[in-house]
Structure 1
Amino acid sequence: MAPSRVDSPEPIPSPAPGKLQSIQTQQPHYGDFRDDFFRDGYAVIKGVMSKERASEYQSEALTWLESFGLGFDRNDKSTWKKENLPQSWKGGMYLHFSAAHEKYVWDVRCEPGVIAPFAKLWGTDELVVSFDTVNITLPQSIVGTYDSQPWPHCDQAPERKGLVCVQGIVNLSSAGPDDGGLIVMKGSAPLFDQFFEENPVTGPTPWRTAKHKDFHPFSDKDLDWYRERGCELIKVCAEPGDLILWDSRQMHWAQFGTSDVVRTIVYATYTPAAWMSEEDREKKKELFEGYETTTHWPHTNLYTHGKAMVKVDGEEVVDPLERDEPLTKPVRSERLLQLAGVKPY
């Protein structure tokens, strides 16, 4: 049975009997990371895997980056140049090249220690996982400044009420004070409904595409609104092998570091498999078989990022580096296929 503080997604009925209560009306004490999560909108779970295992996964991520043959060599910092890397978004998010389905990425998603906190939050271990991307960001101190400014946002549409999505970062590298990492507006998630009641979305919303319906950007005055209510910006610090969880209603963004650490993470979000409609189940199977990278959402809002594109003579064509399948395909275990939504529980 799911915890009483978790709301069922609408219009999909909850798998739990009875109507689940709102996070705002229940204040139980759990005695674990869930107390931090419900109070602050995020939590850090230490050591979901060993530092040694995290380092092995990071090595596989760097092997993948070297496989494009553009000149990047992890052992030669003189090769750490933007032109020696395949295209990415905001410095190191790889939305293409079948990156979401590399074997090491699926191995991370299937780690029992990664799954367990989500199972505890949702009250079930019958989960589906997002086909989310990886982030391998070379340090600005070596490659130069990235053309990206802070983009405070939340990954849940204002009309979608309650806690229905919890995002995750599995750290394969250090995320200390000077390293690249996650910025959150601590305590903003519980104020989600109040914010949009007082600040309704009006006028043109160019960001509200089908793929990005569960996305809302915030302005500087919005940050002030949250600060006036006691919220504060926090750089979330974590070590290799730690898991960061945050409520999708929480304001957040990624910050570039000033250290020489190569930020290496896997984004992983899990929700109850029972929340997925049959239509979305079929769509998720198709995306899985096509090795597509999707949004943060595991059970709904299933849209691919499509192929990597480049301009040639003024026309957009598929990037010659694009891949139709992973460099190393995952082993299709029963657990993996269940998490992928391909095999029912």
Structure 2
Amino acid sequence: MAPSLIETAESVTPVQSKVQERSLTGDWRDDFFRDGYAVIKNALSKKHAQQYQSDALTWLESFGLGFDRNDKRTWKKENLPQNWKGGMYLHFSAAHEKYMWDIRCDPGVIEPFAKLWETDELVVSFDTVNITLPQSIVGEYDSTPWPHVDQAPERRGLRCVQGIVNLSEAGPKDGGLVVMKKSAPLFDQFFDENPVKGPTPWRTAKHEDFHPFQEKDLDWYHSQGCELIKVCAEPGDLILWDSRQMHWAQFGESDLIRTIAYVTYTPAKWMSEEDRLVKKDLFENYETTTHWPHTNLFSHGKAKVEVDGQEVEDPLERDEPITKPIKTEKLLKLAGALPY
């Protein structure tokens, strides 16, 4: 028997949106609901994953800053356009390059989300690519763990499921995702026992669905039987995790270029018509947004640099992708540009 469909929409109250009881499914969903995450093998073929990684590196080389994938002497931070956390490209229309939309529209990537949400009518986030050069060559990044969830404490129940499509290896020594296994089902209990108090400087409009944790909070989860896991996966594998799951990115020790695409899908029916029109505008302007596909739709804006004490637009900024996606009906519906 399939798991019960989650009763949730942004108009639903926290009590109504709690996850219902589920029967065992005999597939990866059992792992997901028990542990808060799951690895779906071969969502993409390795051949396609390798091609998309090549496309991502071609995109990075296109800035003309000196980076050459085939010459490790050029693997330097100063040879890269500005990024966040060592490799997340939030600007430059990165989220809308054709290869990124090819990944989002791939049936093997969509199918697990459709199975999880029990609908084929989905919208997708305008998440971006992560291309992280190895610390062993470029020098250390700020590798301090930043445990967090990407769901506001006020949003109760399963509301969002994030994804990583691996375009490179994510072995034990490589960069990758760290999760607090089994923490997602404890989300409500944690915030009931540890209500958010005092100033929350991280709670901006763009980061409405972000909450950071402190060391004592990790101790709480450990006391509940949770454990930290470095999620290992191969090129073409899809990692899914509940947005209530504590997680962060870990930099690797190997000399591998970590290359991943972030993908998140939720049921289109959860998105209001007002939000759909906002999403349509963001899509038409090739903007990168948050992890959330159907709500909290904010752009990361244009890349900025400081010149003579003034903040101006980065001259490397782009108003459109180098290679635009083919706007099929399927793509436009996923983007929210067309209603279902």
| TM-score normalized with structure 1 length | 0.96
Deviation at 1:149, TM superposition (A): 1.7
| Alignment check: 8 A CA contact 1:7 1:163 kept | no
Which of residues 42, 46, 52 in structure 1 aligns to 2:37? 42
1:34-67 CA-partner distances (Å, limit 9, x unpaired): 0000000000000011111100000000000000
Between the aligned partners of 2:219 and 2:141, the Cα distance in structure 1 is 26
Which of residues 186, 189, 199 in structure 2 aligns to 1:204? 199
SS in 2 for 1:176: coil
The runs of 5 or more residues in structure 1 that have no matched partner are: 14-18
Deviation at 1:313, TM superposition (A): 1.1
Deviation at 1:5, TM superposition (A): 5.7
SS in 2 for 1:270: strand
1:236-266 CA-partner distances (Å, limit 9, x unpaired): 0000000000000000000000001100000
1:309 lines up with 2:314 in the alignment: no
| Alignment check: 8 A CA contact 2:143 2:250 kept | no
| Alignment check: 8 A CA contact 1:12 1:277 kept | no
1:231 lines up with 2:231 in the alignment: no
In structure 1, what residue type is equivalent to 2:104? Answer: R
1:6 lines up with 2:1 in the alignment: no
1:108 matched residue in structure 2: 103
Matches within 5 A, 1:182-261: 182-261=177-256
1:11-55 CA-partner distances (Å, limit 9, x unpaired): 159xxxxx97743x5141001110000000000000011111100
Between the aligned partners of 1:30 and 1:20, the Cα distance in structure 2 is 23
Between the aligned partners of 2:101 and 2:268, the Cα distance in structure 1 is 17
SS in 2 for 1:288: helix
| Alignment check: 8 A CA contact 2:3 2:25 kept | no
The runs of 5 or more residues in structure 2 that have no matched partner are: none
Deviation at 1:315, TM superposition (A): 1.2
Instruction: State the percentage of identical aligned residues.
Output: 78
Between the aligned partners of 1:315 and 1:5, the Cα distance in structure 2 is 51
Between the aligned partners of 1:272 and 1:256, the Cα distance in structure 2 is 32
| Alignment check: 8 A CA contact 2:17 2:158 kept | no
SS in 1 for 2:33: helix
Which of residues 171, 174, 177 in structure 2 aligns to 1:179? 174
In structure 2, what residue type is equivalent to 1:10? Answer: E
Between the aligned partners of 1:49 and 1:203, the Cα distance in structure 2 is 45
Which of residues 262, 276, 279 in structure 2 aligns to 1:267? 262
| Alignment check: 8 A CA contact 1:171 1:238 kept | yes
| Alignment check: 8 A CA contact 1:4 1:22 kept | no
User: Are the structure 2 counterparts of residues 293 and 12 from structure 1 closer, same or farther at C-alpha, using a change threshold of 3 Å?
Assistant: farther
| Alignment check: 8 A CA contact 1:5 1:22 kept | no
| Alignment check: 8 A CA contact 1:12 1:276 kept | no
SS in 1 for 2:102: helix
1:167 lines up with 2:162 in the alignment: yes
SS in 2 for 1:343: coil
SS in 2 for 1:94: coil
1:157 lines up with 2:152 in the alignment: yes
| Alignment check: 8 A CA contact 1:119 1:125 kept | yes
| Alignment check: 8 A CA contact 1:156 1:214 kept | yes
Between the aligned partners of 1:101 and 1:40, the Cα distance in structure 2 is 32
In structure 1, what residue type is equivalent to 2:313? Answer: V
1:77-113 CA-partner distances (Å, limit 9, x unpaired): 0000000000000000000000000000000000000
Between the aligned partners of 2:17 and 2:216, the Cα distance in structure 1 is 31
1:65 matched residue in structure 2: 60
Between the aligned partners of 1:221 and 1:6, the Cα distance in structure 2 is 31
| Alignment check: 8 A CA contact 1:136 1:263 kept | yes
Which of residues 88, 107, 110 in structure 1 aligns to 2:83? 88
Deviation at 1:10, TM superposition (A): 3.1
SS in 2 for 1:104: helix
| Alignment check: 8 A CA contact 1:5 1:21 kept | no
1:292 lines up with 2:293 in the alignment: no
Between the aligned partners of 1:282 and 1:59, the Cα distance in structure 2 is 33
| Alignment check: 8 A CA contact 1:294 1:302 kept | yes
In structure 1, what residue type is equivalent to 2:81? Answer: P
Between the aligned partners of 2:68 and 2:287, the Cα distance in structure 1 is 27
| Alignment check: 8 A CA contact 1:7 1:164 kept | no
Between the aligned partners of 2:150 and 2:17, the Cα distance in structure 1 is 22
1:179-215 CA-partner distances (Å, limit 9, x unpaired): 0000000000000000000000000000001111100
Between the aligned partners of 1:12 and 1:278, the Cα distance in structure 2 is 16
1:16 matched residue in structure 2: none
| RMSD, matched Cα | 1.4
| Alignment check: 8 A CA contact 2:63 2:316 kept | yes
Between the aligned partners of 2:17 and 2:206, the Cα distance in structure 1 is 29
| Alignment check: 8 A CA contact 2:3 2:24 kept | no
SS in 1 for 2:189: helix
Matches within 5 A, 1:134-149: 134-149=129-144
In structure 2, what residue type is equivalent to 1:128? Answer: V
